[in-house]
């Protein structure tokens, strides 16, 4: 590796795996749409192949960083914001297991098992760090803090196919309860302290993910579109509407890798809406799901273009 490229590896951020979360969510959304609307397309198969290839490339890149620059990795672990992005790796594995389930159940089982165990480890580590911290401040908290703990709510989506439902209920319970705890703290921070810096403003979209994913997981666990499922879905829709009304603020932001925080929550609400249409067959949800899928596709295209541009201009993988 040349001297010119060495520093870029040193500053290769763990948050790259948020790209995998977004791309996998996008893949799952398209697969659901193809199935539900009987589309004569194979977009999701292509997206899955691309996402798997990208995941392996990013995994190799971060593994190289671990070997060559362990101090840089340790610094990320100690950082009050970057720490919360390490579980994007385990969540990526869980999401890939969901995307692979219709195509290759044994591989899905392997990825789900590894991702679930790894995510539980991250959950325990991060929660311990929060409990015994000496340097975190209220200004450090942002919706990315949902990722380590609330990310557990994803486990049942594939988990009900791979293991006892009790395991899925265990992880769902953790994610649901800590969503409410962290949501309270985050709104307190937003209401009574300084606004999020521009670089972290896209993480507000992460607010959508817990109720949207919780809705999907609840349907997998119970099979019932009951009152609680509707509460989760409509809270997610309200949060989506709230953030869409603030689009002007987001459009003014300079591009950072944190823009990928827009992607997975947008995919989650799209998938949830497709499921609502599948269950209720109401024209409103059909139209809304199609609209959300179109917007999600446009968003992913913009994010990919901006990311490629950032890599070419060497504005990504640089020192903060």
The CA-to-CA distance between both ends of the chain, in Å, stands at: 22
Smallest Cα–Cα separation from 157: which of 106, 97, 115, 83?
Answer: 97
Instruction: Out of 4-8, 24-28, 68-72, give the one with best mean pLDDT.
Output: 24-28
C-alpha to C-alpha distance for 43 and 99, rounded to whole angstroms: 13
User: pLDDT: is 240 or 80 the higher one?
Assistant: 240
Query: Which pair of tokens denotes residue 144?
Result: 């990315």
User: pLDDT: is 4 or 156 the higher one?
Assistant: 156
Average pLDDT score over residue span 208-234: 96
Q: How far is CA 41 from the centre of its chain?
A: 25
Residues 6+ apart with CB under 8 A from 43: 30, 34
**φ, ψ for residue 42 (rounded to 5)?**
-130, 40
Provide the pLDDT confidence category of residue 59 given band limits of 50, 70 and 90: very high
C-alpha to C-alpha distance for 48 and 2, rounded to whole angstroms: 32
Smallest Cα–Cα separation from 240: which of 223, 264, 224?
Answer: 264
Q: Are 221 and 168 in contact (CB under 8 A)?
A: yes
Tell me the average pLDDT of the chain: 91
The three-point CA angle 234-98-225 to 5° equals: 30
Q: How far is CA 251 from the centre of its chain?
A: 21
C-alpha to C-alpha distance for 31 and 49, rounded to whole angstroms: 13
Provide the pLDDT confidence category of residue 248 given band limits of 50, 70 and 90: confident
Sign of CA dihedral 114, 233, 150, 298: positive
Scanning 37-164, the segments in alpha helix (DSSP H) are 43-68, 70-78, 87-100, 105-131, 146-150, 155-162
Q: How far is CA 269 from CA 9, 52, 163, in A?
A: 34, 22, 26
Smallest Cα–Cα separation from 155: which of 125, 176, 180, 127?
Answer: 176
Is residue 6 scored above 70 in pLDDT? no
Average pLDDT score over residue span 7-36: 92
* Tens digit of each residue's pLDDT (9 = 90 or more) over 80-138: 888 889 999 999 999 999 999 999 999 999 999 999 999 999 999 999 988 887 777 88
User: pLDDT: is 173 or 40 the higher one?
Assistant: 173
The label of the residue with tokens 């709510």 reads 153
Residue 27: what pLDDT? Answer: 97
| Least confident range of 142-146, 191-195, 248-252, 313-317 | 313-317
Residue 207: what pLDDT? Answer: 95
Residues 6+ apart with CB under 8 A from 179: 146, 150, 153, 210, 211, 214
Smallest Cα–Cα separation from 89: which of 107, 105, 66, 72?
Answer: 66
Is residue 147 scored above 60 in pLDDT? yes
Q: Are 220 and 160 in contact (CB under 8 A)?
A: yes
3-state SS of the chain: helix, strand, coil percent to 5?
80, 0, 20
Q: Are 123 and 174 in contact (CB under 8 A)?
A: yes
Provide the pLDDT confidence category of residue 4 given band limits of 50, 70 and 90: very low
C-alpha to C-alpha distance for 212 and 194, rounded to whole angstroms: 27
**φ, ψ for residue 80 (rounded to 5)?**
-65, -20
CATH number for the domain formed by residue range(s) 6-312:
1.50.10.150
Provide the pLDDT confidence category of residue 320 given band limits of 50, 70 and 90: low
Is residue 183 scored above 50 in pLDDT? yes
């Amino acid at each position: 590796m040349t001297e010119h490229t060495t520093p870029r590896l040193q500053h290769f951020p763990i948050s790259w795996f948020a790209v995998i979360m977004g791309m996998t969510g996008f893949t799952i959304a398209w697969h659901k749409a193809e199935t539900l609307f009987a589309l004569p397309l194979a977009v999701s198969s292509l997206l899955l192949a691309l996402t798997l290839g990208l995941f392996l490339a990013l995994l190799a890149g971060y593994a190289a960083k671990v070997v060559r620059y362990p101090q840089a990795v340790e610094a990320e672990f100690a950082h009050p914001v970057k720490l919360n992005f390490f579980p994007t790796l385990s969540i990526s594995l869980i999401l890939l297991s969901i995307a692979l389930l219709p195509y290759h159940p044994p591989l899905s089982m392997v990825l789900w098992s590894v991702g679930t165990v790894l995510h539980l480890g991250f959950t325990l580590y991060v929660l311990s760090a929060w409990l015994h911290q000496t340097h975190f401040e209220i200004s450090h908290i942002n919706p990315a803090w949902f990722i380590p703990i609330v990310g557990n709510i994803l486990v049942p989506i594939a988990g009900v196919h791979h293991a006892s439902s009790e395991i899925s209920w265990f992880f769902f319970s953790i994610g649901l309860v800590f969503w409410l705890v962290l949501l309270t703290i985050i709104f307190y921070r937003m209401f009574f302290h300084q606004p999020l810096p521009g670089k972290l403003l896209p993480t507000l979209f992460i607010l959508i993910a817990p109720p949207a994913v919780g809705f999907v997981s609840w349907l997998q666990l119970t099979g019932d579109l009951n009152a609680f499922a509707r509460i989760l879905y409509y809270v997610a829709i309200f949060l989506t509407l709230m953030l869409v009304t603030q689009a002007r603020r987001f459009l003014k932001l300079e591009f950072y890798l944190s823009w990928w925080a827009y992607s997975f929550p947008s995919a989650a609400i799209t998938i949830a809406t497709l499921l609502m249409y599948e269950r209720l067959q109401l024209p409103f949800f059909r139209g809304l799901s199609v609209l959300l899928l179109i917007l999600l596709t446009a968003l992913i295209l913009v994010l990919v273009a901006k990311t490629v541009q950032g890599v070419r201009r060497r504005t990504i993988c640089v020192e903060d």
